[in-house]
Structure 1
Amino acid sequence: MRLVVVGCAGSFPGPDSAASSYLVQAEDADGRTWSVVLDLGNGALGPLQRYGDPTALDAVALSHLHADHVADMAVLGVLRRYRPDGPLPPLRVLGPEGTVERIAQIAGKDPATDTGEQFDVGTWVPGRPVTVGPLTLEPVPVLHPVPAFGVRVSGPAEDDPSRTVVLAYSGDTDACEGLDALAADADVLLAEAAFHEGRDDAVRGVHLTGRRAAQAAVRGRARHLVLTHVPAWNDPERTLAEAAAVYDGPTTLAHPGLTVRL
Structure 2
Amino acid sequence: MRLVPFGVSGSFPGPATPASSYLVHVSAAESAAAGHEARDWNVVLDLGNGAFGALQRHMDPMALDAVSISHLHPDHCADLAGLYVYLRYHPERGSLRDGGRGAPLPVYGPSTAERHVALSYGLSDGESMENDFDFRSWAEHELVEVGPLTIEPHRVFHPVETYGVRITGPSSSGGTTTLAYTGDTDACTSVVELARDVDLLLSEAAFLEGRDDVVERGIHLTGHRAGQVATDAGARRLLLTHLPVWNDPADTLAEARGSYAGPVEVAEQGKTYEL
TM-score of the superposition, structure 2-length normalised? Answer: 0.91
1:194 aligned residue? 206
Question: Structure 2 residue aligned with 1:79, among 86, 89, 105?
Answer: 86
Matched, 1:136 2:150: yes
How far does the alpha carbon of each residue in 1:214-246 deviate from its partner, in whole angstroms, 9 at most, with x for none?
000001111110000000011111000000111
Give me the whole-angstrom Cα distance separating, in 2, the residues matched to 1:10 and 1:3: 18
Return 21-30 or 57-66, whichever deviates more: 21-30
Question: Structure 2 residue aligned with 1:248, among 251, 261, 265?
Answer: 261
How far does the alpha carbon of each residue in 1:44-95 deviate from its partner, in whole angstroms, 9 at most, with x for none?
0001012111111000000001000000001100000011223133100100
2:228 aligned residue? 215
Matched, 1:157 2:164: no
Amino acid at match of 2:194: L
Amino acid at match of 1:198: G
Q: CA shift at 1:117, angstroms?
A: 2.2
Q: CA shift at 1:202, angstroms?
A: 3.0
Give me the whole-angstrom Cα distance separating, in 2, the residues matched to 1:73 and 1:147: 18
Question: Structure 2 residue aligned with 1:146, among 160, 184, 191?
Answer: 160
- Asked if 2 retains the 8 angstrom alpha-carbon contact of 1:74 and 1:115, the reply is no
Q: CA shift at 1:114, angstroms?
A: 6.4
Amino acid at match of 1:82: Y
- Asked if 2 retains the 8 angstrom alpha-carbon contact of 1:107 and 1:115, the reply is no
Give me the whole-angstrom Cα distance separating, in 2, the residues matched to 1:50 and 1:75: 15
Q: CA shift at 1:109, angstroms?
A: 3.2
Q: CA shift at 1:110, angstroms?
A: 7.5
Matched, 1:124 2:131: no
Q: How many residues matched?
A: 259
Question: Structure 1 residue aligned with 2:40, among 17, 23, 33?
Answer: 33
1:258 aligned residue? 271
Give me the whole-angstrom Cα distance separating, in 2, the residues matched to 1:227 and 1:117: 36
Task: After the TM superposition, list the runs of 4 or more consecutive aligned residues in structure 1 that deviate by more than 4 angstroms.
Answer: none
SS at match of 1:50: helix
Question: Structure 1 residue aligned with 2:70, among 63, 72, 75?
Answer: 63
Give me the whole-angstrom Cα distance separating, in 2, the residues matched to 1:131 and 1:110: 32
Matched, 1:24 2:31: no
Structure 2: where are the runs of 5+ without partners?
none
TM-score of the superposition, structure 1-length normalised? Answer: 0.96
- Asked if 2 retains the 8 angstrom alpha-carbon contact of 1:78 and 1:115, the reply is no
Amino acid at match of 1:252: E
Q: CA shift at 1:177, angstroms?
A: 0.9
